[in-house]
Chain A
Amino acid sequence: DAGVIQSPRHEVTEMGQEVTLRCKPISGHDYLFWYRQTMMRGLELLIYFNNNVPIDDSGMPEDRFSAKMPNASFSTLKIQPSEPRDSAVYFCASSTRQGASYEQYFGPGTRLTVT
């Protein structure tokens, strides 16, 4: 299995531009999570989906952030307009049923720099 795939791996953009981060979860996993990691705040859960439906978006910072999961194999996290304080590493993770194990499998992350 290829694991969780994220693209791009690095993104540099100017303030005010739209940024779209992409994620392909592990095939068969029905939960998908978006996290943000910064030095100041550590690893923060932004939103997660179950069977393509958003379940908890309480971690989304503000209306500039939106996430979609149009099908079981693809999700996007969009920031519009982007700001310098959005600079962080964004991780996507996926997991299977939340039963015996809650292990989440993380992608390699997208390092976003907003200048």
Chain B
Amino acid sequence: GESVGLHLPTLSVQEGDNSIINCAYSNSASDYFIWYKQESGKGPQFIIDIRSNMDKRQGQRVTVLLNKTVKHLSLQIAATQPGDSAVYFCAENIPPRRGGYNKLIFGAGTRLAVHP
């Protein structure tokens, strides 16, 4: 597999700097959010998630911030490394109405390019 190609927004950072990737989501009813990382030739891989009753969650070198007022999500990567170079997707979970199932909707993605 390949990641989405040439027309994604790109964030270029120097190795060792912190990276911030932003995402605007669409549905105010969304109750859960995930960040995925997709390296070239691979499928998306889970990084971190956050529920809508939280505004911040930290993992190893990564932090996700959620601002429900403006429907904005961000992923912060500390001390960015060359191995962090990939396409990053946010996804929102839209809960069902009156029964039914949850639905995970993916954003368009942002390419992170880490330069030595």
Q: Which residues of A contact B (CB under 8 A)?
A: 4, 9, 37-39, 42-43, 45, 50, 55-56, 89, 91, 93, 98, 101-111
**Alpha-carbon distance A36/B54, docked complex (angstroms):** 31
Q: Are B101 and A56 in contact (CB under 8 A)?
A: yes
Chain B interface (Cβ < 8 Å from any Cβ of A): 1-7, 32, 34, 41-46, 49, 89, 93, 101-109
With both beta carbons as reference points, the residue of chain A lying nearest to B2 in the complex is identified as A89
Chain A's interface: helix, strand, loop or mixed, by majority? Answer: strand
Residue contact B106 to A43, C-beta cutoff 8 Å: yes
Do B4 and A102 touch across chains, with their CB atoms under 8 A apart? no
B44 x A42 contact (CB < 8 A): no
Q: Contacts of B93 on A, CB cut-off 8 Å?
A: 102
Contacts of B3 on A, CB cut-off 8 Å? 37
Residue of B nearest to A10 (CB): B1
Given contacts A45-B104, A56-B103, contact A93 B43 (CB under 8 A): yes
Interface contact B43-A39, CB-CB below 8 Å: no
Within the assembled complex, what's the spacing in Å between the Cα atoms of A108 and B5?
16
Asked if B1 contacts A111 (CB within 8 A), the reply is yes
